[in-house]
Structure 1
Amino acid sequence: MFDKIKVIGFDADDTLWVNETYFRDTEAVFGKLLSGYETPNKIDQELFKKEIENLEIYGYGVKGFVLSMVESAIELSNGTISAEIIEEILNLGKQMLSKPVELLDGVTEVLEALYGKFTLIVLTKGDLLDQKRKLEKSNLSGYFHHIEVMTEKSEKDYGEVLKHLDIQPEEFLMVGNSLKSDVLPLLKMGSNAVHVPFHITWAHEKVSEKVVGETNIVTLSSLKELLNYV
């Protein structure tokens, strides 16, 4: 199926290591901090709306998430939120940024098996400083020929990266947990991609069942299954 592949790209968050779990845990704590102003469901809804509203300004990652929490706290409290709670929110962000990097099952085994047979690269979204920190802590950077922290993952964005790296679309395979960001854009541009689901998906990354049903998607039960395809 992937006999023309020369380059394999990996998403980072929730493909190589745990990420979304920490956001969900922090959202739960944030809900408790703001419980005197709104219901947990309303707080979650307003925070998500604020995150989406701020994407063009802050981009993806922990720092933008923290700023969105601060803005949401101010708005939900009608400007009465205390400096102490704002400080607690900031500390939540610092805790997220200092989390150890927890590799997902089979990551090192797969990279070890593919290294030298293919050119391996990382194509991920997020905050540049934070992603570099995680890559360093992961001890995985030595496997990768190139690491690209992208602001978005559209067909246009992928096309620019592949052109810059002189990679032909039909010779490239993308591996990631997000159908919206890691799979569908590549398939639309005539390239290759496989989906390795993570048990938690951020609402912004979800796609409709109709789109999934109309697309020929290769879904793996684990990253280790990739070795059966390449």
Structure 2
Amino acid sequence: MSAPVRVLVCDDQALIRTGLSTIIDAQPDLAVAGECGDGRTAVELARRLRPDVVVMDVRMPVLDGIEATRLLAGAGGEHPVKVLVVTTFNLDEYVYEALRAGASGFLLKDAPPDRLLHGIRTVAMGSALLDPEVTRRLVGRYAARIRPAERGAQDIPLTPRELEVLRLIADGMSNSEIAAVLVISHETVKTFVSRILTKLDLRDRVQAVVYAYRHGLVT
């Protein structure tokens, strides 16, 4: 059997932190590598323990989750760590900054346990996790701030079909949803997504969403 996915849980509320750890440790394929209550400790522990995934709160003392994510998952990091950010609707102004900081995805704090576990496994495998509901809120609320007016689709080295897929990714659609909308197979969507990430030199779907916002592809 393969080794379990090692998870570092970072949340400043002890009750939430304990609850998350209990849920994670109950899974045979997951294990809690450590816990902490502030971003600075999260950075220190992650660099020492080398977890596979960090479940990161946003608002914390000493160092917030955005800056901690930037230090752990940003492009300049020596050993980038996969970070799954947890947020609430009244904190969704932080989601875009979390994605820019290098987070591999985000979930709502009131998401059911099975969605959290799915999120950890998804991020650990190197994929991105986007909560469609929060993504759509981001589109409506922050697109004008994110998007530089002087850039557009004409500057993007993608085919028309690839641009269409990128727009649907930015709308928070899964591969299955994209396949249904475009009436193509799931495998074909995966191929399009892989080409998009390669052509644009992007790490994952999260970076693809940010890219689409910045280039005015979301209306």
Pair in the same fold by TM > 0.5 = no
TM-score (norm: length of structure 1): 0.30
Identify which of structures 1 and 2 has the higher relative contact order when contacts are C-alpha pairs closer than 8 Å and 6+ apart. Answer: 1
Determine which structure has more spread, i.e. the larger CA radius of gyration: 1
Q: What is the TM-score with the length of structure 2 in the denominator?
A: 0.32
